[in-house]
Structure 1
Amino acid sequence: MTAVTPHLSRLDEAFEHVGDQGQRNTCLPISVTVAHQIVRGEGREFSAEALWQHAYAAGRTAPGGTNMGAMAAALRDQGQPFDADWPYDGEASDPQAPPVALSTPPWMTAEIKGRPTEQWGVISALLADQPVVVVMNLSQEFMTPHGDTVLDPPKDAPSLGFHAVVVVQAGHDGSRYWVLLRNSWGPRWGHEGSAWVSVDHLAARMCSADVVVVAAAPAPSAT
């Protein structure tokens, strides 16, 4: 285990179960889903399958996955039901029709905002209780964490592709800051599905960072 001292509580502490995307390239809809259910604050899991199938129907998926623009449209226009009503299937084929008994969209909707532009912006978002969906350029070090820590990759480490995770906590080890990543590869990756990476690692490998924003309920009209 690393000697990182966490700042505040994990933003995802209400969701102990870490999903496994299986053989499907669905890391982005899963990560957006985790961020959405955290900021909603209802303590219930949402359907990542709904986001993926909406993007698929719109022709915005590919063998390599999808993109944040497709996720933003799906979350804004269709939203998400609860996962219990349309559960994720790691072995499903596309397209997957929604369950017959499911209500029609729109479900719970939100907006995606591309706010943090560098590693310190990610930490600022965390301190404001906003989980951050980060797309990273992976190295071999990410594939094989040491306990709950992903080692810093060499500057010339080759790319193994792109992958989305959720940043859910910040910490410090006495010399530099770290962030905790919640992955979608099941509990065997890192420590029960999550691992710390240094801000240097994040800065070198982060391609994009976005937050999910839920519109506030309208204020009651004056009488």
Structure 2
Amino acid sequence: MEHALGTWGQPALTEWPYDPEADPEGIIPDSAGTPPWHLADLTPVPLNPDAILNALVRGQVPMVMIEVRDSFYLPAGRDELDHLAAEEKFYGNHAVVVVAAATRAEQSWYLIRNSWGEDWGSNGYAWVSAGYLESTLVDAAVLESTTPDT
């Protein structure tokens, strides 16, 4: 995650919106320009939900890389990921942003924003339990600064 954001950067969503029909190995749309886009300096966060909560409390925005498994492919309108079934297939890793946290029935929950568009979860957002997050967490960092397009 740090290498990708520090080397290639991230174009604005308005310049390169999510397209579920796009070939992941396809051509970068003209609207996105050419890399490097907005480069980022990241500070690693320990790989546990409490450290991610602490970053939110400090006013930072944690970015996490999680394993994508069957349950992550939410149908539109479903906005909660609570646990993994043992037989779920692994598809790869994916970065999302943690934007909020809450406690419900004495369990911690984290609101994530996905880049897959408004048809994923509830308008692109979903609540994940601390257990789900901990079992799929691969990497975590907070954004320290960005460099505008050059």
Tell me the TM-score normalised to structure 1 length.
0.53
What is residue 183 of structure 1 aligned with on the other side?
A: 114
Partners of 1:114 and 1:98 in 2: CA distance? 31
Partners of 1:160 and 1:108 in 2: CA distance? 27
Instruction: Give yes or no for contact 1:135–1:163 (8 Å, CA) kept in 2.
Output: yes
Alignment of 1:112-191 (within 5 A): 112-144=42-74, 147-191=78-122
SS state at 2:83 partner: coil
The alignment status of 1:70 with 2:4, answered yes or no, reads yes
What is residue 94 of structure 1 aligned with on the other side?
A: 27
Q: Residue 5 of structure 2 aligns to which amino acid in structure 1?
A: M
Q: Residue 119 of structure 2 aligns to which amino acid in structure 1?
A: R
Q: Residue 7 of structure 2 aligns to which amino acid in structure 1?
A: A
Q: Which has the higher contact order (CA 8 A, sep 6+)?
A: 2
Instruction: Give yes or no for contact 1:142–1:151 (8 Å, CA) kept in 2.
Output: no
Alignment of 1:5-84 (within 5 A): 67-75=1-9
Cα offsets for 1:27-71 (capped at 9, x unmatched): xxxxxxxxxxxxxxxxxxxxxxxxxxxxxxxxxxxxxxxx53132
Greater strand content: 2
Q: Name the CA shift for 1:195/1:96 in 2 (closer, same or farther; >3 Å).
A: closer
SS state at 1:177 partner: strand
Shift of 1:209: 0.5
What is residue 133 of structure 2 aligned with on the other side?
A: 202
Identify which range, 143-152 or 106-115, moves more after superposition: 106-115
Tell me the TM-score normalised to structure 2 length.
0.75
Identify which range, 87-96 or 171-180, moves more after superposition: 87-96
SS state at 1:123 partner: helix
Q: Residue 160 of structure 1 aligns to which amino acid in structure 2?
A: Y
SS state at 1:160 partner: strand
Could you tell me which runs of 5 or more consecutive residues in structure 1 were left unpaired when the two chains were aligned. 1-66, 216-223
Instruction: Give yes or no for contact 1:141–1:151 (8 Å, CA) kept in 2.
Output: no
Instruction: Give yes or no for contact 1:116–1:125 (8 Å, CA) kept in 2.
Output: no
Q: Name the CA shift for 1:106/1:158 in 2 (closer, same or farther; >3 Å).
A: closer
